Amino acid sequence: MKHFRNPQTDEEIKRVPPRQRLANGFPVLTYGETPQVSLENWAFNVWGEAEPLTLRWDALMGLPQREFRADFHCVTHWSKLNVQWRGVEISDVMEQIDLTASAQYVLVHCYGGYTTNLTLEDLTDPGVFLAHTLHGEVLPSEHGGPVRLVVPHLYAWKSAKWISGLEFLAVEKLGFWEENGYHRRGNPWQQERYS
């Protein structure tokens, strides 16, 4: 079986960024072990340039639940169009968060220790969300369950699996891959792959 193919239809050609191919399946890309986190133990923490906050599973479920369809672009040259997720819009999470006037950057933290950085502007882009459901099924742990971040407008290393919190910052801190040579922003249309 072929795992990747070139975009074919006009629609695919328009939506697949430069030097990307389409994945037939949904590859799993994880650096290190897959953390196992129960819903009971799951917690999402906010700290730094914000009033400290902890959201547990029930509180997350109490926020508006929505369907999202998003394209997914991994920097290793594969993309997947129309991935169907269910979860919570980041704007609905941000309504729970009281930022200081200095907050301009975010370091996203994960169970297992992975981190990735975003500007506050990229985090609060209207397309960004927390996902707990993939194609109608409970988000599998290898794809980031119980809850992952999805940032459709940037390369997928920004879509942090097993998210455990957001550290708001006045001064930018780089995340794991960004420290190791990946671009600080990662716009797939500009091919911001490595720095």
Nearest to 155 by CA among 130, 122, 121, 107: 122
Q: Is the bond preceding 146 in cis, omega lying within 30 degrees of 0?
A: yes
Q: Which residues pair with residue 115 across a beta bridge?
A: 109
Report if residue 86 touches ligand MTE, rule: CB under 6 A: no
Distance of CA 167 to the CA centre of its chain: 15
HEC profile for 166-188?
EEEECCCCCCHHHHCCECCCCCC
Quote the least distance from Cβ 31 to Mo ion, whole Å.
9
Question: With respect to ligand MTE, which residue has the nearer C-beta, 114 or 168?
Answer: 114
Report if residue 13 touches ligand MTE, rule: CB under 6 A: no
* Span of 2-10, 20-28, 60-68, 185-193 interacting with ligand MTE by CB under 6 A: 20-28
Report if residue 157 touches ligand MTE, rule: CB under 6 A: yes
Report the distance separating Cα 153 and Cα 148, nearest Å.
Answer: 15
State the binding string over 37-76 for ligand MTE (x if CB under 6 A, else -): -------------------------------------x--
Quote the least distance from Cβ 118 to ligand MTE, whole Å.
13
